[in-house]
Chain A
């Protein structure tokens, strides 16, 4: 479904990703794990079109999307939940969801999509009229995911969904992401919480200083000695 081959990307003089190849098949949940500064967020930004790859190819369902602007990529069926949630703080919860369905095709399915999002995250329905900035961190993350679902995506990119959340909330959030997955969405998630995310996904890639160091089944990766020591904390 999603395929990156030999992608190199960065900002200005700085190169954050070196020759990264990766694939996500329809229906899969895939994680990219690695330490801070490994290039995980850059990877997400290349896929969603917020930055252009310097070289290499990105394709989605057989169409090349590398270098296409973000507002076109979302129309192809990729929704990016960015790092730090990036909800619109001064808009109401309902308006944030309306913006999620900005594209004409998504706008036509608005009522249906919203019912689905409210089914997944009932708290958003309760707080519909509230300003998004007044929600708790966990609720804001749910709103960010809900907003992404409003575009009717096939693939969802989640960038550090557990960042800044209380431990209890982290567990709840991973449960919710599991439910999103059961709804049939394909997921590519970037996380520092390696232990939790490896329980959630089928496969994972280990990204270090901009290069893929390892890839494999999630259980197999969790068993790797140095992954356990370095990230899982066992």
Chain B
């Protein structure tokens, strides 16, 4: 029999992991919902930003908040660059070509990172106090990451609902052509969306590097689970992605304690496959 305390600890860890996963999923989903192209290399952009935090903080001795800001700024630049250089020329191409192009970017970024920085695992060490809650050790880094990802998602929510351009972004995701009739240049809306999606990647990178080591294949570790969450929540459905993040992170964390981490991922994939058959439009899709 497993100590219930271990399960409770796993549940808390799952919750904390869910926050950052949700951030990744929302960034990817925002871009997909508006531009209708899946950025296969999204988490690899996160990986590049993680290196930026690592080098600025661990090598050049910047304070962590400055490294975080650098990461967000780099995320914006990468988001704009990916859109202008890769997505924009293939906007009207067949979906399979779009997948190949963003998939190609993934391999490019992996090789680029391996070439420049080797396959070493690099992490940022922060001197953080230990915290215990009801005899459970809680990682303060994870707690900070969770709180900041919730704050970032709240900021995204306010941006999308309270600002003119944010509302226009939602409108474009509902009816691109109708929004052109309102006077919105779709290309400009795409650029803003890509910048915001890139900024989310930058925030996620800063929150991930304080918990995990970065290496060139980081995207391969977090990419698949991020896509699963987006599909599970319904591609383009922001609330669905948010809910799905916590379902998946709990499944992984709890079954990780019950069996093993590998088994946790296996079970997460099984849950995913079952859900895809049961609710192909995503967990929150309207029936009918």
Complex-state Cα separation, A197 to B161, whole angstroms: 39
Contact B182 A102 (CB under 8 A): yes
Judged by a CB distance under 8 angstroms, whether A88 is at the interface is yes
What 1/0 flags go to A89-131 for Cβ under 8 Å of B? Answer: 1110001001110110011000000000000000000000000
Number of interface residues of A (CB under 8 A): 26
Judged by a CB distance under 8 angstroms, whether B126 is at the interface is no
Residue of B nearest to A98 (CB): B167
Number of interface residues of B (CB under 8 A): 17
Contact A70 B167 (CB under 8 A): no
- Residues from chain A with a CB closer than 8 A to the CB of B179 are 88, 99, 102
Q: Which of A50, A69, A89, A99 contacts B182 (CB 8 A)?
A: A99
Judged by a CB distance under 8 angstroms, whether A80 is at the interface is yes
What 1/0 flags go to B142-167 for Cβ under 8 Å of A? Answer: 00000000000000000000001001
Judged by a CB distance under 8 angstroms, whether A151 is at the interface is yes
Contact B170 A80 (CB under 8 A): no
Judged by a CB distance under 8 angstroms, whether B181 is at the interface is yes
Judged by a CB distance under 8 angstroms, whether A48 is at the interface is yes
Q: Which of B177, B180, B182 contacts A151 (CB 8 A)?
A: B182
Contact A107-B164, Cβ < 8 Å, known A88-B175, A89-B174, A90-B174: yes
- Residues from chain B with a CB closer than 8 A to the CB of A103 are 182-183
Judged by a CB distance under 8 angstroms, whether B97 is at the interface is no
Kindly provide the distance from the CB of A73 to the nearest chain B CB, expressed in whole angstroms. Answer: 9
- Residues from chain B with a CB closer than 8 A to the CB of A39 are none
- Residues from chain B with a CB closer than 8 A to the CB of A50 are 177, 180-181
- Residues from chain A with a CB closer than 8 A to the CB of B185 are 69, 71
- Residues from chain B with a CB closer than 8 A to the CB of A86 are 175, 177-178, 181
Judged by a CB distance under 8 angstroms, whether B12 is at the interface is no
Contact B183 A75 (CB under 8 A): yes
- Residues from chain A with a CB closer than 8 A to the CB of B183 are 71, 74-75, 102-103, 106, 151
Contact A100 B182 (CB under 8 A): yes
Judged by a CB distance under 8 angstroms, whether B275 is at the interface is no
Judged by a CB distance under 8 angstroms, whether B247 is at the interface is no
Contact B171 A70 (CB under 8 A): no
Q: Which of A82, A90, A98, A107 contacts B181 (CB 8 A)?
A: A82
Complex-state Cα separation, A136 to B167, whole angstroms: 23
Complex-state Cα separation, A11 to B245, whole angstroms: 42
Complex-state Cα separation, A107 to B167, whole angstroms: 14
- Residues from chain A with a CB closer than 8 A to the CB of B186 are 71
Contact B180 A98 (CB under 8 A): no
- Residues from chain A with a CB closer than 8 A to the CB of B171 are 88, 91, 95, 99
Judged by a CB distance under 8 angstroms, whether B243 is at the interface is no
- Residues from chain B with a CB closer than 8 A to the CB of A106 are 183
Complex-state Cα separation, A106 to B181, whole angstroms: 13
Contact B177 A74 (CB under 8 A): no
- Residues from chain B with a CB closer than 8 A to the CB of A71 are 180-186
Write 8 A-B pairs (CB below 8 A) sorted by A numbering.
Answer: A50-B177, A74-B183, A82-B178, A86-B178, A87-B178, A91-B174, A102-B164, A103-B182
Residues of B within 8 A of A (CB): 164, 167-168, 170-171, 174-175, 177-186
Q: Knowing that A74-B181, A99-B182, A100-B182 are A-B contacts, what are 16 other residue pairs whose CB atoms are under 8 Å apart, sorted by A's residue number?
A: A50-B180, A50-B181, A70-B181, A80-B181, A82-B177, A82-B178, A82-B181, A86-B178, A88-B178, A88-B179, A90-B170, A95-B167, A102-B168, A106-B183, A107-B164, A151-B183
